[in-house]
């Protein structure tokens, strides 16, 4: 399957620039100078105190917790109380100090911030990291509403931590084929389409574009996303076991889902990047990835 056949032929635009979706596959795993410079610009776009804290063994956990605080004051107070009860008053105090700075990461910066903090996080004891992950999962569920990105972020962090504790058990690919994983792929594409589409009709079109990129029948009904978190708990680990070239086809389908309308949104970029991270296919930076939103105040 050629890239041009798998993905829309025209470039598509979004928050910070324009890129040709069909060229992204060629860039995966081979970042050029432009993408290296973008990554450096992304790191430098974070406030200096946040960057320093993220790279500090003492402060990196609190930076991660800070990035998950809810904008609603009442719920944020509940989150801070949970942090104090689970990790102690000192941890809560550090999160509050970051909060007083008035500069939280924009949606597009949350994942890069995790990646910046992860080397420092890995230096913490395994028991502490297990407790931290449990707290993060509680924070995600505290408002009785599971946000897709927060859920995926917790999953990605769990994967990072597992791999840091099991360095001799890599899980980069397996032997499964796309044909053997079509129900799982259909459900994952459905989650991405629903959270990127403005209407059910547009979501269905996006899903169909992703399925058609696999040369499968896109006329079948799109799976409902009710209970999507339980579904992803099963679907993503299975898709991580795809053979390497089969993962390439899956990434084409994910990109086709995002690219179907010629636009991309920050939520789509986050979901796309985290989903690919969970199947061990890191994506190159996109124009404006994490930069266009700036710092939320």
pLDDT of amino acid 146: 67
Span 27-38, pLDDT tens digits:
454 444 444 344
Which one-letter DSSP state was computed for residue 22?
Answer: G
pLDDT digits (tens, 9 = 90+) for 215-242: 876 567 898 877 777 888 889 999 999 9
- Mean pLDDT value across the chain: 76
pTM (two decimals) = 0.70
- The per-residue pLDDT for range 108-130, each reduced to its tens digit, is 677 778 878 888 988 898 888 88
Alpha carbons 297 and 260: distance in angstroms, whole number: 32
Q: Taking CA 112 as the corner, what is the angle to CA 107 and CA 116, rounded to the nearest 5 degrees?
A: 140
- The pLDDT tens digits for 138-195 are 888 887 676 777 777 777 777 777 777 777 665 666 899 999 999 999 999 998 898 8
pLDDT average, residue stretch 47-64: 89
Question: Coil, helix or strand for 158?
Answer: helix
CA distance 92 to 279: 33
Greater confidence (106 vs 50) lies with: 50
Round to whole Å and give the CA distance between 273 and 211.
Answer: 19
Q: Is 29 helix (H, G, I), strand (E, B) or coil?
A: coil
**Mutual orientation of helices 266-278 and 182-196 as an angle, nearest 10°?**
160
Question: What is the structure's pLDDT at 276?
Answer: 85
Query: Each residue of 83-99: pLDDT tens digit?
Result: 999 999 999 999 999 98
Beta bridge partners of 242: 176
- Give the C-alpha separation, 187 to 150, whole Å: 18
Question: CA 100 to CA 62: how far, in whole Å?
Answer: 13
- Given a cut of 80, whether residue 2 has pLDDT beyond it is no
Backbone angles phi, psi at 286, to 5 degrees: -100, 160
């Amino acid at each position: 399957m050629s890239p041009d056949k798998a993905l829309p032929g025209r470039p598509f635009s979004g928050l910070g620039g324009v890129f040709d979706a069909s060229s992204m596959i060629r860039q995966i795993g081979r970042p050029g100078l432009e993408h290296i410079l973008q990554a450096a610009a992304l790191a430098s776009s974070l406030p200096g105190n946040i960057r320093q804290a993220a790279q500090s063994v003492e402060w990196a956990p609190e930076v991660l917790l800070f990035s998950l605080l809810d904008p609603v004051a009442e719920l944020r107070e509940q989150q801070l109380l949970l942090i104090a009860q689970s990790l102690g008053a000192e941890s809560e105090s550090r999160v509050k100090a970051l909060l007083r700075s008035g500069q939280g990461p924009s949606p597009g910066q949350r994942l890069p911030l995790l990646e910046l903090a992860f080397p420092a996080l890995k230096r913490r004891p395994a028991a502490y990291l297990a407790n931290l992950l449990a707290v993060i999962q509680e924070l995600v569920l505290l408002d009785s509403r599971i946000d897709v990105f927060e859920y995926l972020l917790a999953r990605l962090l769990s994967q990072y931590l597992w791999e840091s504790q099991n360095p001799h058990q890599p899980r980069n690919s397996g032997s499964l084929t796309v044909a053997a994983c079509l129900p799982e792929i259909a459900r994952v594409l459905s989650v991405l389409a629903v959270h990127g589409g403005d209407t059910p009709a547009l979501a269905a079109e996006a899903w169909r574009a992703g399925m058609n990129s696999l040369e499968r029948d896109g006329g079948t009904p799109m799976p409902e996303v009710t209970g999507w978190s339980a579904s992803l708990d099963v679907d993503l680990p299975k898709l991580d076991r795809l053979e390497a070239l089969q993962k390439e086809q899956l990434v084409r389908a994910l990109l086709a889902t995002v690219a179907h309308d010629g636009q991309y949104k920050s939520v789509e970029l986050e979901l796309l990047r985290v989903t690919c991270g969970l199947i061990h296919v890191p994506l190159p930076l996109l124009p404006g990835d994490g930069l266009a939103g700036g710092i939320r105040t």
